[in-house]
């Protein structure tokens, strides 16, 4: 499965980033570019829709850490619908303490300000 990604900015400032396939050293720059766009658009929250992401390598984790640093503590990052392998990777590094993990997209949670 090839890597695919997209960014959708909601009218209230939520950056919804959808990732599918394998996020590794050959594809992480695409994800990094979307995070850069979210930062440039002054996203108030970031929702990572990962239901189709089957694998995340350390390069993807570095982008998550970069996003958290650049966006600051006032911008929440939501990891949504992550598959078990991706959850395990995030959990092994302790990043689950820096993001909010959700089983499904809930606008009442993600878009509530």
Encode pLDDT of 74-90 as tens digits. 999 999 999 999 999 99
Residue 61 near residue 95, CB atoms below 8 Å: yes
Tokens 């993001």 -> residue: 99
Query: What is the model's pLDDT at position 26?
Result: 96
Burial class (CB in 10 A: 0-12, 13-18, 19+), 22: middle
Q: Give percent above pLDDT 90 in the chain.
A: 95
pLDDT exceeds cutoff 90 at 43: yes
In the chain, domain spans: 4-110
Separation of alpha carbons 73 and 22, rounded Å = 28
Query: What is the model's pLDDT at position 113?
Result: 74
Separation of alpha carbons 89 and 96, rounded Å = 10
Give the full edge-to-edge strand order of the sheet including 100-102: 4-9, 14-23, 45-56, 76-80, 100-102
Mean pLDDT (whole number) for 24-42:
96
Count helices and strands (H / E) in the chain: 4, 5
What superfamily in CATH does domain 4-110 come from?
Answer: STAS domain (3.30.750.24)
Burial class (CB in 10 A: 0-12, 13-18, 19+), 47: buried
């Amino acid at each position: 499965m090839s890597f695919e990604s997209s960014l959708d900015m909601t009218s209230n400032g939520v950056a919804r980033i959808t990732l599918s396939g394998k996020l590794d050293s050959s594809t992480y720059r695409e994800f990094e570019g979307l995070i850069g766009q979210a930062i440039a658009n002054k996203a108030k929250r970031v929702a990572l829709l990962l239901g189709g992401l089957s694998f995340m390598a350390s390069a993807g984790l570095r982008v998550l850490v970069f996003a958290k640093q650049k966006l600051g503590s006032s911008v929440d990052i939501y990891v949504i619908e992550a598959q078990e392998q991706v959850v395990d990777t995030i959990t092994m590094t302790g990043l689950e303490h820096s993001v909010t993990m959700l089983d499904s997209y809930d606008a009442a949670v993600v878009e509530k300000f």
